[in-house]
Structure 1
Amino acid sequence: MPLLTSSYRPPRGFANGYVQSIYPTLFRNLDLPGLKRERLELDDGDFLDLDWSLCREGRTSSLVIVSHGLEGHSRRPYVLGTLRQANREGLDALAWNFRSCSGEPNRLPRMYHSGATDDLHRVVCHALQQGYQRVHLVGFSMGGNLSLLYAGRDAHMPQAVASVSGFSVPCDLKGSANQLAGRRNRIFMWRFLRDLRVKVEQKAQRFPDRVSADGYPQIRTFRQFDDRYTAPLHGFKDALDYWQQSSCLSYLSQLKIPALLVNADNDPFLSAACYPRAMARQHDYLHLEVPDSGGHVGFIERSTDQTYWMEKRALAFVKQVDG
Structure 2
Amino acid sequence: MPILENTFTPSFPFNIGHFNTIYRPLFVKDTINYQRKRITTWDHDFLDLDFSFTGSTSIVVLIHGLEGSSQSSYMVTTSKKLNDEGFDTVCMNLRGCSGEDNLLLGTYHSGKTDDVDFVINHLNNQYNYQNIIIVGFSLGGNLTLKYLGEYNNIPSLVKGAVAVSVPIDLTTSQAELCKLKNKIYLTEFLKTMKTKLLQKAEKFPEFQLDKKLLLKATRFRHIEKQYTVPVFGFESSEDYWIKASSKPYIPNIKHTTLLINALDDSFLSKECYPYDEAQNIANFYLLTPDYGGHVGFLSSFSNAENTWLEEKIIHFIKDKVELC
Bin the TM-score by the shorter chain. over 0.9
How much has 1:285 moved relative to structure 2?
A: 1.2
3-state SS in 1 of match to 2:212: coil
Match of residue 230 from structure 1: 228
Paired residue total: 319
Displacement, 1:305?
4.4
Between 306-315 and 85-94, report the one with greater CA deviation: 306-315
Q: How does 1:193-232 map to 2 (within 5 A)?
A: 193-212=190-209, 213-232=211-230
Q: Separation in 1 of the partners of 2:189 and 2:64?
A: 14
Q: CA–CA distance in 1 between the matches of 2:312 and 2:221? A: 33
Q: Relative to 1, partners in 2 of residues 1:179 and 1:117: Cα closer, same or farther, differing over 3 Å?
A: same
Partner of 2:47: 48
Q: 1:131 corresponds to which residue?
A: 128
| Separation in 2, partners of 1:286, 1:322 | 14
Equivalences for residues 25-36 of structure 1 within 5 A: 25-32=25-32, 34-36=33-35
Partner Cα separation in structure 1 for residue 305 and residue 97 of structure 2? 24
Say if 1:8 and 1:309, in contact at 8 Å, map to a contact too.
Answer: yes
Q: Residue 254 of structure 1: which of 252, 255, 258 is its match? A: 252
Contact kept in structure 1, 2:2 and 2:284, CA below 8 Å: no
Q: Which residue of 1 aligns with 2:183?
A: 186
- The one-letter code of the counterpart of 1:35 is Y
SS at match of 2:241: helix
**Residue aligning to 2:316:** 317
How far, CA to CA, are the matches of 1:25 and 1:90 in structure 2? 26
Q: What does the per-residue CA deviation read over 1:46-65, in whole Å, with 9 as the maximum and x for residues that have no partner?
A: 00011000124xxx221100
1:263 is displaced (CA, Å) by 0.2
Contact 1:203 1:211 in 2 (8 A): no
Output the aligned Cα RMSD.
1.3
Mapped partners of 1:175, 1:202: distance in 2 = 30
CA apart distance, 1:304 = 4.5
**How far does residue 301 in structure 1 lie from its aligned partner after superposition?**
3.0
Distance of 2:131 and 2:236 partners within structure 1: 37
SS in 2 for 1:214: helix
* 1:1-323 → structure 2 map (5 Å cutoff): 1-32=1-32, 34-56=33-55, 60-128=56-124, 129-212=126-209, 213-302=211-300, 303-305=302-304, 307-320=306-319, 321-322=321-322
TM-score after normalising by structure 2: 0.95
TM-score, scaled to structure 1: 0.96
Does structure 2 retain, via aligned residues, the 8 Å contact 1:173–1:244?
yes
Could you tell me whether the CA contact under 8 Å between 1:81 and 1:307 is conserved in 2?
Answer: no
Q: Which amino acid aligns with 1:281?
A: Q
Contact 2:14 2:299 in 1 (8 A): no
In structure 2, distance between residues paired with 1:305 and 1:44: 44
- Identical positions, percent: 39
Q: Secondary structure at the match of 1:215?
A: helix
Matches of 1:52 and 1:159, distance apart in 2: 21
Q: CA deviation at 1:6?
A: 1.7
User: Runs in 1 of length 4+ with deviation above 6 angstroms?
Assistant: none
Distance (whole Å) between structure 2 residues aligned to residue 13 and residue 43 of structure 1: 47
Structure 2: give runs of 5+ residues left out of the alignment. none
Q: Distance in 2 between matches of 1:252 and 1:121?
A: 17
Please give the alpha-carbon distance, in whole angstroms, between the structure 1 residues aligned to 2:208 and 2:50: 30
Deviations 1:274-304 (A, max 9, x none): 0011121111111010000000000003444
| 2: CA distance, partners of 1:322 / 1:314 | 14
For structure 1, the residue ranges without an aligned partner over 5 or more in a row are: none
The alpha carbon displacement at 1:134 in A equals 1.4
CA deviation profile, 1:249-272 (whole Å, cap 9, x unmatched): 010011101010000000000011
